[in-house]
Amino acid sequence: MRNICSLILAALLCAVAVAGCSSAKGSKGSDNAATEVADSARADTVAIVFSADSALAMVKAQCDFGPRVPGTEAHRRCGDFLASRLEACGANVINQRATLTAFDGTRLPARNIIGEFAAADSSSRILLLAHWDCRPWADSDPDPSRRKEPVMGANDAASGVAVLLELARVLQAHTPPVGIDILFVDAEDWGNHNDDRSWALGSQHWAKNPHRKGYRPQFGILLDMVGAPGAQFAKEYFSVAYAPSVVRDVWTAALKSGYGSYFTARDGGGVTDDHVFVCAAGIPCIDIIDNRPDSENGFFPGWHTTADTPDCIDPATLKAVGQTLVNLIYNQY
């Protein structure tokens, strides 16, 4: 019995040794050479890099003005900063100003800021947007005495603006194969939780008054809350309903780029956000938005609190979103 056992054991060891030898031989031989070629080819193609550090600096630059609540000095000055950043990156900048009335009757001096980046040769365009205003009240703050303070908005939504500003720098350095329009929308966050139409006032205005007559990009991508550690970009309901092929292409780009841990396969709930009004205007638009099914409100822990500050931004999350967009735009994986 013992002999049979040791015979079987010897046979097993031998098989393992042979398998080990063949794999060792493979890794030193032609297989490895092929892998090296593939790696260097990939390194050659992934030449356009999105800088997470620059994006983080852009989050801080916005927050340094203070909360960008419509009607405040911080809002005015940051609006000028955003327009000048786009201009410095070579965009044609259009400022769309309007006085919009909030649900509580407040008249908001709103400013949508558009930066147009031309393609080498193409009339086909992509719209990328984020809201740049801050909520006037931290009404979800755990401390009731702080709920009337404004939100600093590092993640909601300086993060999305910062990713697009860093992308603007990339677009200046590398002419894109399609035209890109960056739209910073105002007055998103002066909303009332009992009224869907009280949100996204800047987008609603833009949808009715596009910055160019007959403006028709192929599709739009909205960024909202793209800077928290451990962000989970589930497939938002209205995005899947109105722009399924855009969701598919963006998620494919993210997965191929190695960011599958952020861009999850899970379906998220619906969020009344800027993209809904862009979709209603006939432009298929998705929302890349951090969805936390286990939190009370469905968003990141500091949402609409005084804790939404730059020290809570993770550059790795900015990188996942920014590099995915770069790889999608330039077709590099």
In the complex, the residues that contact ligand AHN under the rule CB under 6 A are 156, 189, 199, 224, 271-273
Nearer to ligand AHN, 170 or 278 (CB): 278
* Nearest-approach distance from CB 303 to Zn ion, in angstroms: 7
From ligand AHN, Zn ion, none, interface partner of 108 (C-beta below 5 to 8 A by class): none
∠ CA 155-159-162, rounded to 5°: 155
The crossing angle, in degrees rounded to 10, of helices 159-173 and 73-88 is: 20
Q: Which of 250, 211, 219, 215 lies closest to 233 in space, CA to CA?
A: 250
Task: Enter the tokens of residue 232.
Answer: 């989970």
From ligand AHN, Zn ion, none, interface partner of 206 (C-beta below 5 to 8 A by class): none
Phi and psi, residue 111, nearest 5° = -145, 110
Q: Which of 178, 275, 270, 267 lies closest to 222 in space, CA to CA?
A: 275
Biggest distance spanned by C-alpha atoms of the chain = 92
Contacts with 332 (C-beta within 8 Å, 6 or more apart), sequence order: 45, 46, 47, 48, 326
Nearer to ligand AHN, 169 or 275 (CB): 275
* Nearest-approach distance from CB 318 to ligand AHN, in angstroms: 17
* Nearest-approach distance from CB 28 to ligand AHN, in angstroms: 54
DSSP string, 45-94: H------HHHHHHHHHHHHHT----TTSHHHHHHHHHHHHHHHHTT-EEE
Q: Which of 197, 213, 163, 135 lies closest to 58 in space, CA to CA?
A: 163
Minimal CB distance residue for ligand AHN: 272
Choose the stretch contacting Zn ion; rule: CB under 5 A; options: 12-20, 54-62, 118-126, 151-159.
151-159
Site string for Zn ion, 185-204 (x = CB under 5 A): ----x---------------
Nearer to Zn ion, 239 or 257 (CB): 239
* CA distance linking residue 113 with residue 95, whole number of Å: 5
Element (H, E) at 271: none
From Zn ion, ligand AHN, none, interface partner of 273 (C-beta below 5 to 8 A by class): ligand AHN
Is 141 a residue that touches Zn ion (CB under 5 A)? no
Nearer to ligand AHN, 182 or 271 (CB): 271
Task: Enter the tokens of residue 185.
Answer: 């929308």
* Nearest-approach distance from CB 272 to Zn ion, in angstroms: 11
* Nearest-approach distance from CB 168 to Zn ion, in angstroms: 23
* CA distance linking residue 197 with residue 21, whole number of Å: 67
Choose the stretch contacting Zn ion; rule: CB under 5 A; options: 16-24, 101-109, 149-157, 236-244.
149-157
From ligand AHN, Zn ion, none, interface partner of 181 (C-beta below 5 to 8 A by class): none
Tell me the pairing of strands 233-235 and 107-117. unpaired
From Zn ion, ligand AHN, none, interface partner of 262 (C-beta below 5 to 8 A by class): none
DSSP structural state of residue 188: -
* Nearest-approach distance from CB 273 to ligand AHN, in angstroms: 5
SS3 content of the chain, % helix, strand, coil (to 5): 45, 15, 40
* Nearest-approach distance from CB 156 to ligand AHN, in angstroms: 5
From Zn ion, ligand AHN, none, interface partner of 65 (C-beta below 5 to 8 A by class): none
Position among 133, 156, 273, 290 found at the interface with Zn ion (CB under 5 A): 156
From ligand AHN, Zn ion, none, interface partner of 224 (C-beta below 5 to 8 A by class): ligand AHN
Chain residues binding Zn ion by CB under 5 A are 135, 156, 189
